[in-house]
Structures are given as structure tokens and as C-alpha cells.
Structure 1
Amino acid sequence: MENTGPDYKKIYSDIIERDFPDKKEMCKNILSKTVLSQLDVIEINTLIFGNASREISISNQKHRSYNKQTILQILEYQQKNCLNNTQLAQHFRLSRNSVTHWKKKFKV
């Protein structure tokens, strides 16, 4: 089996066990998955640590990257919830230009 990246499930399970045992029940649904998607990692990080300050959020946003599967999930979320590009960008803290670029690239 090829190791393609960090084992986020193990990482977050250890963090919860060690530092946040009170949040274990809240994160149970996400951690019950066999593999965590990038959206799952973002969600569980928010559940555990809360929303970061504006400066930290801006800094973290510069380092995010999304694979094709995650981009398609985000665009599917847009269609399912009838959101325009601006609303989707605000929800996922993305650039509207990124959303537009993805829609053109993946012909959605």
C-alpha cells in the first residue's frame, strides 16, 4: 500500500485523546470514516480548535491546496445548496476567482 500523506485520522484521534477528551463525542462521526478527506480535516480542525483569529486564518489560507476530489465536492455542495460563487467562496473561505477557475476547469 502506497503512503500518500499524513494519517490525519490518527493525528486527530491522538490530539483528542491527549488534549480534548471532552470533544471526542462531537468528532466521532468524522473519525469513524476510514479515510478523511481534506474537507473532513478542515471541519474537524474547526471543531477541535474553534475559529482562528483573522490573521491566522489569512496565513493558513495561503497554504491550503485542494485535490480534484475535494474541488468536485465543493462544487457539488454549491449546486446542492443553490449558492452563487460569492456565497460558496465565503462559506469555504476561498477566493471567488478560485471558484470560477475550478468551474471552468472542471466544466461544472
Structure 2
Amino acid sequence: MPDYKKIYTDILNTRFPHKKKECKSLLNKEVLSHLDVIDLNTIIFGAVTAESWKFSKRHRSYNQDTIIEILQYQKNNKLSNSQLASHYRLSRNTVARWKKLFVI
């Protein structure tokens, strides 16, 4: 697994030193989850365009811990599958399939 902490620290030091304060809380974590990496990427590089979103969506994968964290977020915030899918930019079918696989 890549050392995302080091990668994003280097990016911040070389290209975006003015954004260090915004990312400090995430980078101080012992281990970064996949959701933390997505949040860091959004903070540093800003919102993605529709074209780049389509490309990156095809190459995205989630591990079991991240899926369970997403489903736990749904449960804690009492969201429907559609609301959760919209929040994380997933398909409703993906959320439904995850709920069948990882009953929490």
C-alpha cells in the first residue's frame, strides 16, 4: 500500500504550502483511510471536473474497512441508499450490493 501520508506531505511542501493548515488534522492521523485520501485530494486540488470524475470513477476501488465506514455513516446519519450514493458519488446499485455483502 502506498504511503499516502508521505506523498501528500511532499505535495503540500513543494506545490501547496499555503494549504498545510487545512490538511493538518488529516495528516496527523496515524493511518489514513481511503476516505481520508479522497478528502485530502479534494482539499489540495479542489473539486474535480465532470470529465476527470468519469475517468477516476472507473479506477476507484474500496477496501472492506472503507465500505463498512461508508455504510456506518449511512446508518449514523439515517440516510437512504440514494442519499448515500449521492453523497459519495456512487451508484445506488453499488450501495445496495454492499449492504447485502456487509450486513451491519
Give yes or no for TM over 0.5.
Answer: yes
Structure 2 distance, partners of 1:6, 1:12, is 11
Aligned counterparts of 1:68 and 1:9: Cα–Cα separation in 2: 20
- How far 1:29 moved relative to its partner? 0.4
TM-score when normalising by structure 2: 0.98
Residue of 6, 10, 30 corresponding to 1:10: 6
Q: Which residue of 1 aligns with 2:93?
A: 97
Q: Which residue of 2 aligns with 1:60?
A: 56
1:36 matched to 2:62: no
Identity %: 56
**1:71-90 aligned within 5 A:** 71-90=67-86
Secondary structure of 2:103's counterpart equals: coil
Kindly report the root-mean-square deviation, in angstroms, between the aligned alpha carbons of the 2 structures: 0.6
Runs of 4+ in 1 over 2 A off after TM superposition: none
- Does residue 1:107 correspond to 2:95, yes or no? no
The corresponding residue for 2:21 is 25
Unaligned 5+ residue runs, structure 2?
none
**Partner Cα distance (2:64, 2:87) in 1:** 19
Shift of 1:58: 1.0
CA apart distance, 1:79: 0.8
Q: Write the distance in 1 (CA, Å) between the matches of 2:103 and 2:5.
A: 32
